[in-house]
Chain A
Amino acid sequence: MTIECGVFHTTYESDMGLRRLPTERIRLGLFLIFIVVFPFLATPYWLNLGNQIAIATVGAIGLNILVGYTGQISLGQGAFMAVGAYSAGLLTLRAGLPWGVSIFLACLITSAVGSFFGIPSLRLKGLYLAIATLAAQEIIEWVVTHWTAVTGGTDALVVPAPELFGLRLNTDFRFYWLAVILAGATALFTANLFRSKVGRAFVAVRDQDVAASVIGVNVFRYKLLAFATSSFFVGLAGAMIAYYRNIITWERFTLETSIIYLAMIIVGGLGTIRGSLFGAALITLLPAFISSLGRGLQDSAPAVAAQLPNIQQAAFGIVIILFLVFEPEGLSKLWRNVKDYFHVWPFAYRRGNGER
Chain B
Amino acid sequence: MDGDHAVGLSLEGVTLRFGGVTALKGVALEVHAGELLALIGPNGAGKTSILNCVSGLYRPQSGSITLQSRGGRRIPLHDLAPHQIARLGIARTFQNIELFAHMTVLDNLMLGRHVHMAGGVISGGLFWGKQRAIEIENRVRVEAVIDFMNLESIRRATVGSLPYGKQKLVELARALALDPQILLLDEPMAGMNTEEKESMARFILDAHEEWGVTPVMIDHDMDVVMDIADRVVVLDFGAVLAVGSPEEIRENPKVIEAYLGQEFGGEGGG
Contact = CB atoms under 8 A, between A and B. Distances in A.
21 contacts: A2-B156, A3-B156, A12-B136, A13-B136, A16-B135, A16-B136, A189-B126, A192-B126, A192-B127, A197-B134, A198-B119, A204-B100, A208-B98, A210-B57, A211-B94, A211-B99, A215-B174, A216-B86, A216-B87, A225-B121, A353-B161
Given A192-B127, A353-B157, A215 B135 contact: no
A6 B104 CA distance: 21
Interface stretch (B109-117, B189-197, B222-230, B235-243): B109-117
| Dominant secondary structure of chain B at its interface with chain A | helix
Contacts of A201: 111, 114
Q: What are the nearest 5 A-B pairs in CB distance? A: A216-B86, A216-B115, A196-B124, A192-B127, A213-B82
Given A2-B156, A214-B83, A216-B178, 8 more contacts: A12-B143, A192-B125, A207-B102, A207-B103, A214-B56, A214-B57, A354-B104, A356-B158
A69 to B, nearest CB: 10
A245 B62 CA distance: 62
A352 interface: yes
B92 A214 contact: yes
B219 interface: no
A218 interface: yes
Contact of B103 (A192, A200, A219): A200
Given A192-B126, A211-B94, A197 B117 contact: yes
A219 to B, nearest CB: 7
Contacts of A228: 121
A155 to B, nearest CB: 36
A218 B81 contact: yes
Give the interface size class of chain A: 35 or more
Given A190-B125, A193-B125, A229-B121, A215 B157 contact: no
A208 B100 contact: yes
Contacts, number: 132
A216 B83 contact: yes
B260 to A, nearest CB: 34
B101 interface: yes
Contacts of A213: 56-57, 81-83, 86
B111 A199 contact: no
Contacts of B75: none
B103 A197 contact: no
B29 to A, nearest CB: 20
Contact of B114 (A13, A197, A207, A353): A197
A178 to B, nearest CB: 20
Nearest to B132: A13
B55 to A, nearest CB: 5
A2 B156 CA distance: 7
A354 B126 contact: no
B97 to A, nearest CB: 9
B208 interface: no
B110 A208 contact: no
A211 B125 CA distance: 24
Interface in A139-164: none
Contacts of B115: 215-216
